[in-house]
Amino acid sequence: MGSPKSGGAKEDTDVDIVGISAYTEGERVFAYHGPRIYESKVQKVEMRKVDNTEEKRYFVHYLGWNKNWDEWVGPERLLKFTEENKKLQEDLKLKQQGTDKNPKSGRSSHMKPKSSADAKMDKEDTRNYVGKGKKRKSDFSIEEKDTISNEKLVKIQIPSTLKKQLVDDWEFVVQLGKLVKLPRSPCVDDIMKRYLDYKLKKEGMIGESVGEILKGLRCYFDKALPVMLLYKMERQQYQEAIKDDVSPSSVYGAEHLLRLFVKLPELLSYANIEEEASTRLHTKLIDLLKFLQKNQSTFFLSAYDNPKGGVAEGSGKDGLEGDDN
């Protein structure tokens, strides 16, 4: 699964953070399949059951391909049919052609599809997102790639109240033109510390794996925020807030951390995680989400600011002592 730029909220964001993008039957689109993007057509739009949750799905036909390739996909796999996305399609095609050969083996290296976000990450960090797979000829089977991608996907079920939080977040920024006031308190670092304190009080000790997972999550957040987790109108604010050696996790809060959970399955698909470790990781991530849900009124803002400092209508206390709303 790639990290496509969003088509549904094209004017406001580069990625579909909350899965609200709307596509219609008969619409010509671009669709991710494996590491590339293909011209496609939306043939059906339905609400379908995914992991016991009703979600919008699109039945697409890949133009120029046999109808046997037709499939149901989520909005994260689709892009609007624009010149910008056509260029992205061409760039990914050239990039894939350049990486099809593994210098060490001389054969095709089975790579996870890379997103525009991954391309901007440091080479060392990018390698951590690349899954090892079977070597094969460069004339790849996109069906095989997609199947392996789904098998490696760490599915994270976000609680319904936090899904509503994501929708509210999207409406504040995209529809109302508001921004989260920075710096946030508690910030992501503070939330993770509180989670550790919570686990210590509840269980009497903190497992080493919990600390490692939080450390890795913080790293993912700092790397992913500027390239995957911001709406377009939030970028200037980011440039002003994050300077020198300041880490995003010390400035941004729960609102943007929750956006990361939407993108985590995609990011983790690049990591070479064993099944047993993946199961443990999934359990820990769900527990952290429950912690966010339990403290939702404290960690999340109920109102965002105008870019010039005004407060959004419907402002209310977010329940956090000392927070500047």
**Which carries the bigger pLDDT value, residue 322 or residue 292?**
292
Top pLDDT among 275 and 90 is at 90
The pTM score is 0.53
Residue 264 DSSP SS3: helix
Closest CA to 66 of 140, 2, 142, 171: 142
At 149 the pLDDT is: 45
**Structure confidence by residue, pLDDT tens digits, 173-183:** 988 999 999 99
> Per-residue pLDDT tens for 111-135?
333 333 333 333 333 333 333 333 3
Which domains are assigned to the chain? 27-96 (2.30.30.140), 160-299 (1.10.274.30)
Look up residue 71 and give its two tokens. 């499939």
Q: Name the residue type at position 312.
A: A
Average of pLDDT values for 160-188?
Answer: 93
How high is the pLDDT of residue 104? Answer: 39
Locate 242 and state its tokens: 């994050």
Extended strands (E) in the chain: 28-33, 36-50, 53-62, 71-73, 78-80
Please tell me whether residue 276 adopts helix, strand or coil conformation: helix
Cis omega before residue 113 (within 30°)?
no
| In the predicted structure, residue 106 carries a pLDDT above the cut 60 | no
Q: How far is CA 113 from the centre of its chain?
A: 14
